[in-house]
Amino acid sequence: MERTTLITGASGFLGAHVVAAAVARSQAEGTLAEPLGPLVVGQCRGSALLAPRFCSPREAAQWIEADLLSDAGGLLERVRPTEIVHCAALSRAAACEADPPGANALNAEVPAQLAAWAQEHGARFIHVSTDQVFGAEDAPDGGFDEDSSPGPVSEYGRSKLAGERAVLEAMPSATVARLPLLYGNSAGRGLGASDSILEQVERGERPRLFVDEWRTPLEVSCAGAALVELLDFDAPGVVHLAGPDRVSRHRFGVAVLQSMGLSRDEAEAELVPTHQAELDAGAPRPRDVSLNASRALAALASDLPGVSVGLARVH
Ligand SMILES: NC(=O)c1ccc[n+]([C@@H]2O[C@H](COP(=O)([O-])OP(=O)(O)OC[C@H]3O[C@@H](n4cnc5c(N)ncnc54)[C@H](OP(=O)(O)O)[C@@H]3O)[C@@H](O)[C@H]2O)c1
């Protein structure tokens, strides 16, 4: 059977890396008898010009434009994927807070629609979710594991949790992969936790970073590789993919600048240590949504490195 891997949100920060990882897997799976592994198709809402930067060669993936709010069904019928990694989302917390119905439509209703199609057509389905389904309570020592009870504090977290539940109801064999704060190469777009800091510093600003907000960050290309590896797993239900280090946003910012060659003192001088209560971020922010990824680590070959190793790979 011809295999086709559809990655939604392929123009996004994570999606572009998932496409690159899927292309690498497809090329690695090629044999003399069947030179091509799965066809990789990246869905973009608008221009896909930036997304292919991580693909080598660019033409190794196909690109298709579609708005998932109006044309998810049409996209699926055009592509007829045998496997899907669903990355597209309304991912900015402030935008979700300003428009809860819009957040629910993209983050819950669309995933449910895709999962129902996958269930009906026997396609593998990986749904990308977030650590922000937690937050009502701080993470325990070692982080939240897959059995921990979610409790979001924002519309973003609530809509993503609704999406998880809708996906698993429509397709119990789907995998819901919860990711932490992602950092790494955004192709000069200032996306993600590290490039956003670097962009601000380059503009001459001093980023305000929280000293009382903790995450277990993961380098984005490693997240992409792990998601693609999950395609070959029979892994129904929730899985946590995260790095091993629990760091504050401020400590993470210092590490980002140190990875660019600054001393610790120089890095700290570029940043403004800030408490959550001092800054209105447009949405309630959880304090500590650290994830425990030990189950994934035990099962996957993909690396889920800590902050210093991950940053060293990027810079
Ligand atoms: N970044 C993180 O730190 C992080 C952490 C945990 C979980 N996640 C999850 O990872 C996934 C990807 O996040 P990201 O950071 O890559 O977000 P992103 O950079 O904002 O990308 C979101 C993608 O969704 C697409 N999209 C938005 N609305 C759409 C619509 N109506 N139809 C079709 N496509 C649409 C965007 O297309 P346009 O380019 O056209 O806007 C973009 O490709 C999300 O599920 C998010 O919840 C991210």
Please check the confidence at residue 36 and state whether its pLDDT lies above 70: no
Please check the confidence at residue 31 and state whether its pLDDT lies above 80: no
pLDDT at 2: 85
CA nearest to 201, candidates 262, 249, 247: 262
Mean pLDDT of 296-302: 96
pLDDT grade for 91, boundaries at 50, 70 and 90 = very high
Alpha helix stretches (DSSP H) within the chain: 13-29, 68-79, 93-98, 100-104, 110-121, 155-170, 192-202, 220-230, 249-259, 264-269, 294-299, 307-314
Mean pLDDT of 125-144: 98
Q: What is the pTM of this model?
A: 0.97
Mean pLDDT of 285-290: 98
> Does the structural domain 4-187+219-244+292-301 have CATH classification 3.90.190.20?
no
pLDDT at 173: 98
CA of 78 relative to ligand 1 center, distance in Å? 22
Q: Is the CB of 50 under 6 A from ligand 1?
A: no
Give the residue, out of 91, 99, 167, with the most ligand 1 atoms within 8 A of its beta carbon, to mutate for a pocket test.
Answer: 91
| Cβ-count burial 197-207 (b if 16+ within 10 Å, e if not) | bbbbbeeeeeb
pLDDT 10s digits, 139-173: 999 999 999 999 999 999 999 999 999 999 999 99
Q: Is the CB of 198 under 6 A from ligand 1?
A: no
CA of 87 relative to ligand 1 center, distance in Å? 6
Q: Which two tokens stand for residue 103?
A: 């957040």
pLDDT at 29: 84
Q: Is the CB of 48 under 6 A from ligand 1?
A: no
For residue 63, what are the β-bridge partners?
42
For ligand 1, atom 2, which residue shows the shortest CA distance? Answer: 182
The alpha carbon of residue 149 and the mean position of all alpha carbons in its chain are separated, in whole angstroms, by: 21
Burial (CB count within 10 angstroms: exposed 0-12, middle 13-18, buried 19+), residue 122: exposed
Q: Is the CB of 122 under 6 A from ligand 1?
A: no
Hey, where are the domains in the chain? 4-187+219-244+292-301
Q: Look up residue 147 and give its DSSP letter.
A: T
Ligand 1, residue 193: give the atom nearest the CA: 3
Ligand 1, residue 183: give the atom nearest the CA: 3
CA nearest to 213, candidates 258, 291, 275, 269: 275
For residue 210, what are the β-bridge partners?
274
